[in-house]
Amino acid sequence: MPVIRLPVTAKVINGEQRQALINQLVKELQGESTARGPVIFEIPLEQTDRIDVLVVWEAWKDIPSEIRSEIILGAYQEKKDKISQALGVTHREAIDQHVLPYAVQPQARYGEVDPKELQDAMLKAGAISLDGDKVELRFPTLAMAEDAHRKLCDRLPKGYWSIVQSASPIY
């Protein structure tokens, strides 16, 4: 089998930059959300009290994967022993690696619901801010997508929300 590699493009971060990322994650975990901040998914593992943590954040762009995991664990402090796997990815990496296969999308008819209201509701539900003032609401599990779908239907019933699963690779 061939080995296919891309050149390494990651930069080294210093202790101050690392601590700033940890502090931002801690704020998010405490409920202090910020624009363009990380979206944190805590995925419970069956029949155990442990979780996987997935952090989607554009700030990861130039940071090596193992450092991303260390930063996530650092932010969880005394709770880090409950984490089985800590994964930090950018939005593009999340799509490419198929770790956010479920999307919740509005299907509102033009003029029925204010687009800004739809976007705000999606951001409050955990949508990822993209370039051009666009947002995308994706989840790693169907249960998380269904929970967000229910909440969005209650909040904006004329939004006509739907859950879409991206195609899985064919093996």
pLDDT band, very low/low/confident/very high, at 38 (cuts 50, 70, 90): very high
Same domain, 44 and 91: yes
Same domain, 156 and 109: yes
Q: CA 4, 97, 87: angle at the middle one, nearest 5?
A: 105
Among 95, 122, 151, the domain-final residue is 95
- pLDDT for res 171: 55
Does the structure show a pLDDT above 90 at 75? Answer: yes
- pLDDT for res 11: 65
User: Tokens 């033009």 label which residue?
Assistant: 110
Over residues 127-152, the pLDDT tens digits come to 988 888 888 999 999 999 999 999 99
Same domain, 134 and 118: yes
Among 95, 118, 133, the domain-final residue is 95
Q: Tell me whether residue 56 is in a domain.
A: yes
Over residues 79-89, the pLDDT tens digits come to 989 999 999 99
Among 71, 95, 119, the domain-final residue is 95
- pLDDT for res 33: 83
H or E, element range at 105: strand 102-106
Using an 8 Å Cβ cutoff, are 95 and 128 in contact?
no
Q: Tell me whether residue 7 is in a domain.
A: no
Q: What is the CA radius of gyration of the chain?
A: 17
Same domain, 38 and 87: yes
Using an 8 Å Cβ cutoff, are 82 and 62 in contact?
no
Q: Is 39 helix (H, G, I), strand (E, B) or coil?
A: strand
